Amino acid sequence: MFKAYRLAGVVFLFCVFIIGALVMRFYAVTDVNRRRVSVWWTSVMCRTGCRFLGIRVRADLSDDSCGKGRLMVCNHMSYLDIMAISSVRPSVFISSVEMENTFFLGFMARIGGTFFVERRNVRNIKGELDGITEIISQGFNVVLFPEGTSTDGSQILPFRSSFLAGASEAGVDVVPVCLKYSRIDGAVFSPENCDLVCWYGDMSFAPHFLRFITVRRTEVDIAFMQGMNSLEHDRKYITRRAQELIESVYFTAS
């Protein structure tokens, strides 16, 4: 009965999100306004979705993360990361074209204002960097998952530095963000229960999500750290330092 109630509620929220996003995007005059209303509406619906799904987000915000036009880099474990971050900080998320081509998720990401990049094609990187730089310059907070993929939460993969050049081009700070699932239905996050929230490897979305909605409470801690000036440090230093800071918080917290 609980699962049926959750599923019905989720379907209703998906419909509200899709209809609302399409209507607002239709009336937005420019591409910038279209992305602005998409990001705002996504944040509103993510807050609502988190409350309905029992996702409790505790956010530790630094002064640097409270402004606009920041590049935020975060470790990555699940599509739920996006819900958690967006619920406390309206943002444009950077994702791969593989996600854009994924049934349903690609559509949801697209109407939510996501910017898609081809991570594996170095020939396109200049144009994609220009796109990221433009979005940041327009005052959007941009979230990048520099691992390039999601994990089971047992490790943080090496960060890729390529797309951090967008921060240097825009002359804005890079804010490291550490996201940690701390408890699932009261049990400490561990290898035994991590697959309830982590979505990685060759997992299919629908079966994973149908299992997740049986979870009554998920606790998430997000730490937004002090930003690093992209004009004072090169992207390789910022990438390395951001990973060190995120790992120190992530594994200390665990």
Q: How does pLDDT run across 15-25, given as a tens digit for each residue?
A: 999 999 999 98
What is the pLDDT at residue 86?
A: 97
pLDDT of amino acid 253: 54
Q: Are 190 and 236 in contact (CB under 8 A)?
A: no
Report the run of H or E that residue 168 belongs to, with start and end: helix 165-170
Q: Say if residues 43 and 143 touch (Cβ distance below 8 Å).
A: no
- pTM value is 0.92
Tell me which residues of the chain have a pLDDT lower than 70.
62-67, 119-126, 253-254
Residue 6 is classified by DSSP as H
Q: CB-based burial of residue 32 (10 Å sphere; 0-12 exposed, 13-18 middle, 19+ buried)? A: middle
Residues, the chain: 254
Furthest-apart CA pair in the chain: how many Å?
A: 56
pLDDT (0 to 100) of residue 43: 97
Q: How far apart are CA 132 and CA 241, in angstroms?
A: 21
Domains of the chain: 2-253 (3.40.1130)
Residues contacting 253, CB < 8 A, separation 6+: 178, 180, 182, 221
Residues ≥6 apart with Cβ < 8 Å to 9: 52
Whole-angstrom distance, CA of residue 219 vs CA of residue 110: 27
